[in-house]
Structure 1
Amino acid sequence: MKINLYTDGGSRNNPGPAGVGGVAFDESGEEIFRFKKFLGEKTNNQAEYLALIEGLRIAELKGYQAVECFLDSELVVKQLSGLYKIKHPDIQPLVAEVLKLKNKFKSISFKHVLREKNKTADSLVNEAIDEGLS
């Protein structure tokens, strides 16, 4: 079964208090899982990668073999597709982790989606940061 995984990561003040969030749907559009997590101090780009990693780990644990990933970070999508180089040393190990997880799925893709199409994941990020700061 293929799932659609929407992830988002964010940081207030970049770097600053950060969080991740995500939601996954099956092929019929039913929500199958969601997550949120406070990260402490991170950059926006670190948070975007950590959100994807968290979502892929959950998908793997639940036994899904095909994942279509939707992110509102065009930078991350282009880095993962090889269109942009990964220069920042803090990002390189996160990319390596995504690539390691990528090999655990029979089918996986990374697609850019406009922020308006990623509202649930974005809301979960803000909830995670708010809860982490309170």
Structure 2
Amino acid sequence: KKVSEFIGKTTNNVAEYTALLRGLELSKEFNADEIEIKCDSKLMVNQLKKKWKVKSPNLKPLYQKVRLLLSAYRKVNLIHVPRSIIKAADKLVNKAINSSLDKDVEVHFVEEETESTLF
């Protein structure tokens, strides 16, 4: 599925967590026991791997929801992909930022740089 939604004025970190939450909610329909997440946010990757603390009060509830959804999977692969590589994702974000309408937008991930297992 392809999703883009307007979430209002917020920080990029809240937007990253919100996007991951939406993706995890949509992924439930596949009943998979493993998931691979590609993300360009070092902050989110390190927080989810429990290397960095979640200090922002705006991020704490989002972080907790993401961790809860991830706990349903037997295996979680979290892959950090530099922003320059995932230009398609940036296009999706920009469309969402510039529009208050929900739109379907196709996203293609082309390369991955670093892979790590979260669980």
- TM-score bracket relative to the smaller structure: 0.7 to 0.9
Once residues 60 and 120 of structure 1 are traced to their aligned partners in structure 2, the CA distance between those partners, rounded to angstroms, is 24
Decide which of 73, 83, 94 is 1:126's aligned counterpart. Answer: 94
SS at match of 2:8: strand
Structure 2 residue 52 is the aligned partner of structure 1 residue 96: no
Structure 2 residue 81 is the aligned partner of structure 1 residue 113: yes
| Residues 60, 104 of structure 1: 8 Å contact kept | no
Taking structure 1 as the reference length, the TM-score comes to 0.69
Taking structure 2 as the reference length, the TM-score comes to 0.78
Higher strand share: 1
How far is 1:34 from its partner?
Answer: 2.1
SS at match of 1:70: strand
1:34 corresponds in structure 2 to: 2
Once residues 35 and 119 of structure 1 are traced to their aligned partners in structure 2, the CA distance between those partners, rounded to angstroms, is 16
Sequence identity, in percent?
A: 38
| Residues 68, 109 of structure 1: 8 Å contact kept | yes
Greater relative contact order structure (CA < 8 Å, 6+ sep): 2
Structure 2 residue 59 is the aligned partner of structure 1 residue 68: no
How far is 1:129 from its partner?
Answer: 1.6
Structure 2 residue 13 is the aligned partner of structure 1 residue 45: yes
How far is 1:116 from its partner?
Answer: 2.4
SS at match of 2:86: helix
How far is 1:44 from its partner?
Answer: 0.8
In structure 1, runs of 5+ residues without a counterpart are: 1-32
Q: Alpha carbon RMSD of aligned pairs, Å?
A: 1.5
